[in-house]
């Protein structure tokens, strides 16, 4: 109580505005500076570091995303070119196989025609020899008939 009297405090009112009010204000300000120095600045630094980390990570992620999009478009172009190249190879292979088929068909047709012509010639020669044989046999038979008719008379 003596300390209160020393600062000029009077006892008993509903609101005593003595030296405690400025003392409390100084305590609050001092506590604010102490808390700010001990707790809020380190926490603020950690928050700022995390914010910087998040911002840099976001920028790096955007950069990587743009790289991925560029790579994706490059790969799509390469795939398109590869498909076109494969289609042209397929078309060439189909054309080559068609040409080979036509050549084989023409060769087979030529061989068949040649074989048929050879068979026709052979048949003609056999027919001619058979006709010649028949003529000679007919002449022999005719001579034999004439001889027998003349011999019987």
Give the model's pLDDT for residue 12: 55
Give the model's pLDDT for residue 39: 83
Give the model's pLDDT for residue 38: 86
Nearest of 2, 34, 31, 32 to residue 19 by alpha carbon:
2
Name every residue whose Cβ is closer than 8 Å to that of residue 7 and which is 6 or more positions away in sequence.
18, 19, 20
* pLDDT one digit per residue (tens) for the chain, 153 residues: 445 444 555 555 556 667 777 888 899 999 999 988 888 888 889 999 999 999 999 999 999 999 999 999 999 999 999 999 999 999 999 999 999 999 999 999 999 999 999 999 999 999 999 999 999 989 988 888 888 888 876
**Cα–Cα dist 47/6, whole Å:** 47
């Amino acid at each position: 109580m003596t300390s209160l009297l020393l600062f000029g405090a009077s006892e008993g009112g509903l609101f005593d505005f003595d030296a405690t009010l400025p003392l409390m204000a100084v305590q609050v300000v001092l506590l604010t500076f102490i808390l700010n120095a001990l707790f809020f600045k380190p926490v603020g630094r950690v928050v700022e570091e995390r914010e910087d980390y998040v911002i840099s990570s976001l920028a790096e992620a955007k950069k990587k995303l743009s790289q991925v999009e560029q790579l994706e478009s490059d790969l799509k172009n390469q795939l398109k070119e590869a498909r076109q190249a494969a289609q042209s190879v397929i078309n060439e292979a189909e054309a080559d196989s068609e040409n080979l088929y036509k050549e084989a068909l023409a060769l087979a047709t030529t061989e068949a025609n040649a074989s048929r012509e050879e068979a026709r010639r052979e048949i003609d020669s056999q027919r001619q020899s058979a006709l010649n044989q028949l003529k000679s046999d007919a002449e022999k038979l005719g001579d034999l008939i004439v001889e027998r008719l003349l011999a019987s008379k």
